């Protein structure tokens, strides 16, 4: 196998570092996108994919908390998204 030159290794390190920093920035951009969405928006986008959207009045706050935990796994939501949706549904 050919030995990697120290100079080449230096470039690999630099390019790798830039790639990692880039990834960190894009994931932050996604988080900012989620942060900008309201509970109502997240609810409308996520909770009618599999069934009709249940009315916020259908359950109490305590019940929504339980439903939220259950549906969080089904809808693959982050904790933040789930909390926003529950806050919206419990108004
Ligand atoms: C991936 C599909 C899927 C998504 C997305 C989803 N649900 Fe569900 N939901 C189900 C299934 C399946 C059931 C049936 C109960 C179960 O999970 O065993 C259900 C049941 C429910 C029930 C109980 C209905 C009843 O009358 O007893 C509520 C309330 C509910 N979902 C709310 C939500 C909310 C709020 C969201 C958004 C955060 C959501 N669901 C997103 C699949 C989904």
CA atoms of 18 and 87, how far apart (whole Å): 39
Identify the CA nearest to 66 among candidates 48, 36, 33, 90. 90
Question: Which ligand 1 atom lies nearest to the CA of residue 72?
Answer: 38
CA atoms of 75 and 73, how far apart (whole Å): 6
> How do residues 56-65 score in pLDDT, each as one tens digit?
999 999 999 9
Query: Which residue puts its alpha carbon closest to atom 42 of ligand 1?
Result: 50
46 pocket-lining for ligand 1 (C-beta < 6 Å): yes
> How do residues 14-63 score in pLDDT, each as one tens digit?
888 888 777 777 666 666 666 789 999 999 999 999 999 888 999 999 99
Structure tokens at 25: 């920035």
Identify the CA nearest to 67 among candidates 8, 19, 36, 53. 53
Q: Which residue has the higher pLDDT, 14 or 1?
A: 14
CA atoms of 49 and 46, how far apart (whole Å): 6
* Contact predicate 53/29, CB 8 Å: no
């Amino acid at each position: 196998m050919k030995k990697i030159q120290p100079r080449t290794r230096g470039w690999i390190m630099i390019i790798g570092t830039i790639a990692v920093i880039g990834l960190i920035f894009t994931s932050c951009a996604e988080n900012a996108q989620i942060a900008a969405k309201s509970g109502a928006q997240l609810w409308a986008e996520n909770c009618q994919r599999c069934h009709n959207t249940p009315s916020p009045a259908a359950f109490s706050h305590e019940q929504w908390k339980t439903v939220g935990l259950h549906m969080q796994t089904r809808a693959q939501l982050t904790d933040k998204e789930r909390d926003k949706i529950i806050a919206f549904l419990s108004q």
